[in-house]
């Protein structure tokens, strides 16, 4: 959960993506935000990198109190051929991991704490050896 309202959260996501759009290793950034009734929102988009890899992301958010909770999220990073490099999500699986929050990578599925979009972007930068 994040201690701010839906509008502020969506503005922070846009500001983060604007910073990455200016990076030398990013080709393009696209983002769509959609306010929903009841202080809910949906944000989705993609970040395309110079090596042909792409990060796709989606978050369904609820801010009916003074916090923003991610009801659903997925951060899917793939190479130029479409092969998954890593994926964070909270989707149910069978058999299920011990936690809804988990990460897929070449070694399998691991239970993790739900990351932020910024953490995922920083992980990709580190993984690829790009300087921010």
Query: How does pLDDT run across 51-68, given as a tens digit for each residue?
Result: 999 999 999 999 877 778
Domain carrying residue 10? 6-128
| Cα angle value 71/30/117 (rounded, 5°) | 40
- The edge-to-edge listing of strands for the beta sheet with 108-111 is 26-36, 40-49, 54-62, 69-78, 84-89, 102-105, 108-111
Per-residue pLDDT for 115 more than 80?
yes
pLDDT in tens, 77-102: 999 999 999 999 998 765 555 568 88
**Pairwise CA distance, residues 80 & 50, whole Å:** 10
Q: Which helix (H) or strand (E) holds 15?
A: helix 6-21
Q: Is 15 left (phi over 0), alpha (psi -120 to 50) or beta?
A: alpha
User: 16-52, pLDDT tens digit by residue?
Assistant: 999 999 999 999 999 999 888 878 899 999 999 999 9
Please check whether residue 117 lies inside any domain of the structure. Answer: yes
User: For the chain, what is the mean pLDDT?
Assistant: 89
Asked whether residue 100 is assigned to any structural domain, the reply reads yes
Q: Report how many domains make up the chain.
A: 1
In a domain, 68, yes or no: yes
**Pair 10, 33: CB distance under 8 Å:** yes
* Domain-embedded: residue 1: no
């Amino acid at each position: 959960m994040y201690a701010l309202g839906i509008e502020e959260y969506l503005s922070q996501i846009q500001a983060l993506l604007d910073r990455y759009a200016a990076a030398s290793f990013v080709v393009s950034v696209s983002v769509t935000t959609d306010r929903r009734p009841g202080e809910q929102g949906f944000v989705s988009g993609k970040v395309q990198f110079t090596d042909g890899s792409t990060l796709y992301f989606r978050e369904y958010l609820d801010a009916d109190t003074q916090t923003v909770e991610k009801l659903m999220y997925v951060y899917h990073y793939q190479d130029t051929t479409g092969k998954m490099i890593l994926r964070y999500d909270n989707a149910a699986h069978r058999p299920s991991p011990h936690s809804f929050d988990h990460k897929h990578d070449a070694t399998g599925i691991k239970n993790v704490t739900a990351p932020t979009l910024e953490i995922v972007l920083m992980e990709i930068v580190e993984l690829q050896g790009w300087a921010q």
